[in-house]
Amino acid sequence: MLIRAMRPELASDWMDFFDTRAFADHAEWKGCYCTFFFLPKPPEYEGASARRRDYAAWLIERGSMKGYLAFENGKAVAWCNVNEKAAFPKLAGSVVEGEKVLSIACFLVQQDHRGRGVAQKLLDRIIKDAKTEGIRVVEAYPSKKAKTEFGNFHGSFSMYEKNGFKPERIGDGEVVRRYL
């Protein structure tokens, strides 16, 4: 399995994954294009959810959509949306001044690749790169109550716990954090 950091040159692989495989077994989420944490959208992208794809393409083109794609046999089979917390408009209000936090927003693994350690491989790469880049805090938003892979779209609580993340209260919510 090859894990690659998202860059604009991978846009067609990313779009192919989202358009054809990411939600093949969960069609009602098909139009998300991993843009939730980038809300509110700029005025030119407000409106119908069908425009989320265009908004995602714009985020990728300008280098704002960051994360990792997992490839097998030349095709993207998984995606993890990861960025500095301050880069996500949805989370920017809870950023503590002077604290650089890497936020893991979403994990998506193609149905026939689930249960094969793909999310763990992505998480390993995230932690490795964060250490290399001098980031001291990695944060994620799993649900302890999730019962399905769809409920675990932020990554499973048990995966984070197994990897040294600890629950913390941030503002009104609970997150998991790992200090590097």
**Structural domains of the chain, with CATH:** 2-179 (3.40.630.30)
pLDDT at 74 exceeding the cut of 90: yes
Question: So what's the pLDDT on residue 47?
Answer: 61
List strands edge to edge, sheet with 101-109.
2-5, 67-72, 75-84, 101-109, 137-140, 173-179, 166-170
Mean pLDDT of the chain: 89
Question: So what's the pLDDT on residue 151?
Answer: 65
- How do residues 98-142 score in pLDDT, each as one tens digit? 889 999 999 889 989 988 999 999 999 999 999 999 999 999 998
Percent of the chain with pLDDT over 90: 58
- How do residues 75-95 score in pLDDT, each as one tens digit? 999 999 999 999 999 888 888
Question: So what's the pLDDT on residue 52?
Answer: 84
The whole model's pTM is what?
A: 0.90
Q: Which of 23, 51, 16 is nearest to 35 (CA)?
A: 51
Calculate ∠ Cα 144-177-23, nearest 5°: 55
